[in-house]
Amino acid sequence: MRALGTCLLLGVAAAATGCGERALVAPDRFSGDAIPHSLTGMPGDPEAGRATFVARDGGHCVLCHVVAGLDVPFQGNVGPALSDVGARLTPGQIRLRIVDASRLNPDTVMPAYYRVHGLNQVSRGLEGKPVLSSGQVEDLVAYLAALDG
Ligand code: HEC
């Protein structure tokens, strides 16, 4: 009942993802392993996406991913190299993996960047907010979709 109480308290709609998480992306926007359409209705900006990709207070994707030719001192290899990800995945497939990679692999260590987490999983001040905005997700999609090795 504690979780239900929290949901009622916050007025958070219990969505398919469960109580305490609000669906930021409507279920009918998912198609297979992709989210085919832009979250904002507009294309993103690849330059801004590159900045978010490396920023510590943004995605900090370089913590786990290498992109060849990117001028950053340290890049991790916990996740696959993304140097040619645009040749391997469609923009829609890239979008879904950034929004919520756990939909494909429940055990993934990759954070869900555009999902609202349950209250007990996030630090104070971040409750109810996704890690990235929809615009930042689109910028990342535009950046990564253009990487073809
Ligand atoms: C904590 C480590 C970690 C961080 C941080 C992280 N990822 Fe990932 N990512 C992974 C792992 C691991 C996978 C492999 C998929 C899996 O775990 O099932 C992955 C997979 C992906 C894929 C699919 C790649 C493929 O070849 O199939 C994309 C695209 C991706 N990540 C983008 C990003 C972006 C963009 C960010 C930053 C916003 C990011 N990742 C941050 C760990 C991470």
Question: What was the pLDDT predicted at 46?
Answer: 98
Domain ranges of the chain: 25-145
Q: Among 133, 111, 105, which residue's Cα sits nearest to residue 123?
A: 111
CATH code of domain 25-145:
1.10.760.10
| Ligand 1 contact, 65 CB (< 6 A) | yes
Nearest residue (CA) to ligand 1, atom 16: 108
pLDDT confidence tier of residue 99, bands split at 50, 70 and 90: very high
Nearest residue (CA) to ligand 1, atom 32: 98
- Testing ligand 1's pocket by substitution, the residue of 35, 54, 110, 139 carrying the most ligand atoms inside 8 A of its CB is 110
Count CB neighbours of 120 within 10 A.
10
Question: What was the pLDDT predicted at 49?
Answer: 97
| Ligand 1 contact, 94 CB (< 6 A) | yes
- Separation between Cα atoms, residue 108 and residue 79, nearest integer Å: 10
- pTM of structure: 0.86
More reliable by pLDDT, 14 or 41: 41
- Separation between Cα atoms, residue 43 and residue 78, nearest integer Å: 29
| Ligand 1 contact, 141 CB (< 6 A) | no
Tens digit of pLDDT for each residue in 25-76?
Answer: 999 999 999 999 999 999 999 999 999 999 988 889 999 999 999 989 889 9
Which H or E run contains 54? helix 46-54
Taking the CA of residue 61 as reference, the ligand 1 atom at the shortest distance is: 37
Does position 146 have pLDDT exceeding 80, yes or no?
yes
